[in-house]
Amino acid sequence: MYKKIIVAVDIAEFEKGERILRKASTLLDGGGSLLLLNVVENLPGYLVSDLSVDLIVKARQEAEQTLIDLKAKAGVTAEIEIREGSPAREILAAAEQRKADLIVVASHVPDFSNYFIGATADRIVRYAKCSVLIDR
């Protein structure tokens, strides 16, 4: 089993997030830890100049509240972290910083360029230095 698991959740996909969080909790060693992670994507510069800082802060707060709700609904103990940037890059960085031994991520229905598992999941699988579980 695993001692440090990162569960990367897209807050727009609450049901998938709940499913992978429950699955990850069954893979956790006694005394292990779960990190529930969401990445708020950076907006292009031309959009940021037109948006208020309050809108970006509100997006982070909404993400955090969604993860709190998700954790409560799944009935699991997990730390919560919100990051900003490219989802794949930030998930991989969190895994390295925390010395995770498993990343769990849900995959969406991909387009032609990422036919098998999706863009973010594809990058995580290619570059992770630990095991990765992709839930379809």
The CATH number of whichever domain residue 86 belongs to comes to 3.40.50.620
Range of the domain at 56: 2-135
Sorted by sequence, the CB contacts under 8 Å of residue 44 that are 6+ apart come out as none
| pLDDT confidence of residue 45 | 60
Instruction: Give residue-wise pLDDT tens across range 72-120.
Output: 999 999 999 999 889 999 999 999 999 999 999 998 665 554 455 568 8
Average pLDDT, the chain: 88
Number of domains forming the structure of the chain: 1
Amino acid (one-letter) located at 132: V
Q: Residue 38: is its pLDDT beyond 90? A: yes
DSSP annotation of 56: H
